[in-house]
Chains A and B, each alone.
Chain A
Amino acid sequence: MSEAAAREARPGADPAAIKAQIVEYCKRKGALAVGVADLEAIDRVAPPGHRPGDILPNVRSVISLGVGGQTQGAWTVPTKAFAYFGSTEGRAYSIAYGCSFFIESRFRARAIYCPPDMDPEGGARIPLQSLKLHAELAGIGARSLAGDILLHPEFGYMYYASVFTELELPPDRPLATNPCPAPSCVDMYRKTGQTPCMKFCPVQCLSGTIDERGRQAEMRYEMAKCAELTQQYEAVPEVLAEALAAGDAAARERTLFDPDASLLWYKMSVGSGGLLAQCFECMRVCPIATRAPLADPIRRAQAADRKD
């Protein structure tokens, strides 16, 4: 359905006003930040097969929204527990899902929430769409030295979801400034050659440089190393391969059913979120993720109190 059709459905509503209603809806449902990405820019950056139009042929707009990443308490827990906090955030998807219904019912325009999963044709590490790219172009996050994890100057670390619609909405601009690296990280880099996220990464998958003005000069991220901590699906075939190569029945039994493997089977059988989880160590030591003005519910509540 076209913009004209939407205008016809809601006489007098212009794209900016519709966008405002959508943003208001998403924020009412819990989104901290909402923006519209420039579709043309997405298509320039995303490779063929991973562009919005590859999923929704007549897409006109990509809405990106972010929800609060972690509670303040979450940053204090041990990593083995933190991993179960999940790499995806159901709230973001439910808001996006609701937003797509909202758009269709309110504006009579087709909408979908962007499937947040892997591309069945691309293997286990290739997403259908880059939610990160949508959010960055929608101006609700900027790439960090921590493997391009998006950070927001006010909200810190967020989870993102996207909505594709045939409504034509005015796009936002990317953030004017990148909050990463924080001044304290620049200081540490000057002294040690590393930022906190680089230093404390358990698999040392991060490196990079900061220029003389304190801006990111180069970000280097070895995603495969990172995945060793967070993507256990590759552990499954490895366990099976080891079992097949085992020399005897006892060795095979140990391979298949040692405590680690047993936990792996458990996670698979119950669909545990811990099977595919983030380690979060780079974010745990990130001053933006953990100490941005509105980074967690406590800070947001305190800010609201001050405003009152």
Chain B
Amino acid sequence: MPRGLTFEQIGVTEAMIASYADAIWRLSNNVQIRRGDPVRLLELDRVDAERADLGMSDAQIAAVLGLTRDQVLAIRVLTEVRRFRRRNYHRLYELGRGSRFRADRYVPLEARGGFRADALALREALRFDPKEVRRFVEAGWWGNDTLAGWIAARAAEAPQRAAIRGPDGDLGYGELARRAERFAVGLHRLGIGRGDVVSVQLPNVPEFLVAYLGIARIGAVMSTAHVPYRAAELRTLLAHSRARALVCLSRNKDHEPAAAALALPSLEHVIALGDPVPGTRSFAEVLASAGDLPDDLAPAPADPFLLLYTSGTSANPKAVPLTQQATLGNARMGAPEHRITAADVVLSAAPYSHLFGLYSFHLAAGVGATNLLLPAFTPPDFAQAVAAGRPTVLFVGPAHLAALLKIGLLDATDLSSVRLVIASGSACPPELARAVAARLPNGRFTQLWGMTETQAGLYTRPDDPIEVAALTAGRPSPGTEARVVGPDGAGLEPGEEGELQVRGSLMFPGYFDNAEANADAFTADGWFRTGDLAARDAGGNFRITGRSKDLINRGGVKYNPRDVEDLLDAHPDVMQAAVVPVPDPVLGERACCVIVPRSERSPGLEELCAYLLERGVARYKLPERLELVAEMPLTPTRKIIKSRLVARIARSA
């Protein structure tokens, strides 16, 4: 019978295929069972007897099953195609050269981890201009930088060199790398994979860095939560970031973050540092994990590895995704500019939950310097850390310096080890800058301007005269371009004040999952609108002159008071509320609450603060002054004109 007939012509139906596929498969050569050695021994009768096991031709199978040869052929071939697993071929890629297949170790491709939908959504947010990408790579601004690669290199170069100097002594780069690897294994065992977000809410303790490095080691993304945040803020941020795990303290003063986090619906794992907390995993337990990580968990420089929030703890969160190559490139190129070397001991007064704090760590890790840890800033603790740890580089905010100066600790502390101060977080009053510089017998004062969105975009260099460092934020960092534009978007001449706009290889690609914020963030030609006002001098240094946005900058901690306003608006005795900054000689700004009372009964400041605390608002966001007004100044679209409130308060003061 000629081949080539259709299934309809030979009478093969899906029902027949279902009925006979297995039998044909078993009788055909697809499965062969031979007993003894009958052909070689010419035991041909035995061959005939065992032909069903040895494998039959289609005609022989047809005779056994009562089908036609064409039917057997059609069903067999179709079954072979249907059962064929194309991707098994990939098993060959890992074999040879002494590497053998081990069934007990092999993980099929389909069972290997991939990016979850949430992780892919985050990666989707990484959209860069192709021309710019090419420029960044060609210029060397984006390179082969990964945090895991850096730490591995430092561990290989000098495993005993102190990476961390903390209350419990030194931790070498080698041991830090080992702990990070173990923590990474522990996270992997919890099911955390590439692109997954892990939130970290810890002070500047060694475990913060271990967690950070462990997260980065497996290509996951760290999202930080500031230590003062309570459940109200965490709920919003963790839901927005899609964090699968939170690393936090068991107890923080009067608060129990780990226990509180268990109530957050989006979290799968809470890893508690400190005393055991039922329902959570202990940090030590995760750190005790042993084993190897799969090769496919190795991070790539273009991976997002940080998701940092700039505002919006109650609504409309603004989350900044940062890639390893952009972020670490900032530090790689910044270290020679700041003249930071492996011999330095770096102390950050800023928390690692801020990018400024992380920048200090990145700089140190990039060159193999030591990180002197200060868990939380207080002037006495900072002075003690300087005295005991003898840091060479200080990362501080002007508010930190002002506090130290005000209570005399700057004078009382031996600053002879300090060769460099990098101040950032807010514009440093020139008098403060000069005062600090005057107290550095062997050091230089510098200023740095940056935002989470832009990273360290401007800074003065150690060799700059003090007047440059006192009056300006310096010049663009490698990879950054900056300009000052007028209201019409045109570039301004030196000395003219306008909006500071920046772009370059350090720039974030846009806010994650916030189209509204992204709509206004960039100009059509790709410049980021910082919202800060600045003027450029003839030497190319930028002076920050003000801020066009409403963030309150309390000692370098910037936050949007909208969530507080929303809660106040809901207070039974409040008709309308606004929170605006008022100048403060120490912190730079403090929050002033302006309310229109609902009735003659006006709530007091203490009552309002208690009300906010009850609703989970962090203490640092509590208003510190109360002003009562009969009515708010409003725009035609009923928005409160905060600048008028600020001016009114200033007048009343």
What is the interface of chain A, defined by CB distance below 8 A to chain B?
A: 41, 44-45, 47-50, 76-83, 120-126, 133, 136-137, 142-143, 147-148, 174-175, 178, 199-204, 215-225, 227-229, 232, 234-235, 237-239, 260, 279, 281, 284-285
- Say yes or no: A202-B39 contact (C-beta < 8 A), given A44-B44, A224-B30: no
Q: A136-B40, A218-B33 are in contact. Are A83 and B86 (CB under 8 A)?
A: no
Number of A-B contacts (CB under 8 A): 159
Residue from the list B29, B83, B86, B106 in contact with A126, Cβ < 8 A = B29
**Which of B30, B40, B100, B106 is within 8 Å of A142, CB to CB?**
B40
Of A76, A136, A279, which is within 8 A of B92 by CB? Answer: A279
Q: A47-B56, A216-B34, A232-B89 are in contact. List 9 more A-B contacts (CB 8 A).
A: A78-B97, A143-B34, A216-B36, A218-B35, A219-B32, A224-B83, A227-B84, A228-B85, A281-B95
Identify which of B32, B37, B89, B106 contacts A216 (C-beta below 8 A). Answer: B37
Q: Are A178 and B30 also in contact (CB < 8 A) when A123-B80, A234-B84, A238-B81 are? A: no
Report which of B60, B83, B96 forms a contact with A77, defined as CB distance below 8 A: B96
Verify if B41 is at the interface (C-beta below 8 Å from A): yes
Check B42–A41 contact: CB distance below 8 A: yes
- What 0/1 readout, one digit per residue, does chain B (1-33) give for beta carbons within 8 Å of chain A? 001000000000000000000000100011111
Name A285's closest neighbour in chain B (CB-CB): B100
Please report the total number of B residues contacting A with Cβ < 8 Å.
48
A-B interface, 9 closest residue pairs, ranked by CB to CB distance from nearest: A78-B96, A47-B57, A79-B96, A79-B95, A234-B84, A202-B91, A228-B88, A224-B30, A235-B86
Q: Which of B33, B57, B77, B93 is within 8 Å of A80, CB to CB? A: B93
The answer to whether A82 touches B96 (Cβ under 8 A) is yes
B479 → A minimal CB distance (Å): 32
Q: Given A202-B95, A237-B81, are A148 and B86 neighbors across the interface (CB < 8 Å)?
A: no
**Could you tell me the distance between the alpha carbons of A44 and B38 in the complex, rounded to whole angstroms?**
12
Contacts of A174 in B (CB 8 A): 39-42
Q: What are the residues of chain A within 8 A of B32 when measuring CB–CB? A: 147-148, 219-223
Bound-state CA distance A133–B109 (Å) is 37
Kindly state the separation between the CA atoms of A224 and B100 in the bound complex, as whole angstroms: 21
Q: Return the contact of A238 from the options B58, B59, B84 (Cβ within 8 A).
A: B84
| Nearest CB of A to B102, in Å | 8
Asked whether B89 lies within 8 Å of A49 as measured between CB atoms, the reply is no
CB distance from A296 to the nearest CB of B (A): 17
Residues of chain B within 8 A of A220, CB atoms compared: 31-33
Q: Determine chain B's interface SS by DSSP, over half rule.
A: mixed
- A220 to chain B minimum Cβ distance, whole angstroms, is 5
B312: shortest Cβ distance to chain A, in Å? 32
Which residue from chain B places its CB closest to the CB of A239 in the assembled complex?
B86
Chain B residues, CB < 8 A from A284: 96
Distance A239 CA – B90 CA, assembled complex (angstroms): 15
Which of B30, B87, B101 interacts with A223 by CB under 8 Å?
A: B30
The answer to whether B95 touches A217, judged by C-beta atoms less than 8 angstroms apart, is no
Tell which of A48, A120, A215, A281 has the most Cβ of chain B within 10 Å.
Answer: A281
The answer for the CA separation of A76 and B97 in the assembled complex, in Å, is: 5
Question: Are B101 and A202 in contact, CB atoms less than 8 angstroms apart?
Answer: yes
Contact of B73 with A by CB under 8 A: yes
B341: min CB distance to chain A, Å: 43
Note all chain B residues with C-beta closer than 8 A to A121: 3, 73
| Closest Cβ–Cβ distance, residue B62 to chain A (whole Å) | 11
Tell me whether A215 and B58 are in contact in the complex, defined as CB-CB below 8 angstroms, given that A229-B89, A235-B89, A239-B86 are known contacts.
no
> B88 contacts which chain A residues (CB < 8 A)?
202-203, 225, 228-229
- Cross-chain pairs A/B with CB under 8 angstroms, 15 sampled: A44-B47, A47-B57, A47-B60, A122-B57, A174-B42, A178-B40, A202-B88, A215-B37, A223-B29, A223-B31, A223-B32, A224-B31, A234-B86, A260-B86, A281-B92
Q: Which residue of A lies closest to B60 (CB)?
A: A47
Q: Which residues of B are found within 8 Å of A235, using beta-carbon distances?
A: 84, 86, 89
Which residue from chain B places its CB closest to the CB of A50 in the assembled complex? B57
CB pair A123 B76 closer than 8 Å: yes
Q: Taking CB as reference atom, which chain B residue is nearest A82?
A: B96
Chain A residues in 8 Å Cβ range of B40: 136, 142-143, 174-175, 178
Question: Is B103 part of the binding interface, using a Cβ–Cβ cutoff of 8 Å?
Answer: yes
- A221→B35 CA distance, assembly (Å): 12
A47-B59, A234-B81, A238-B84 are known contacts. Are A137 and B96 too (CB-CB below 8 A)?
no
CA distance A232 to B25 in the complex (A): 19
The answer on a CB contact under 8 Å between A48 and B59 is yes
In the complex, A223 Cα to B95 Cα: how many Å? 20
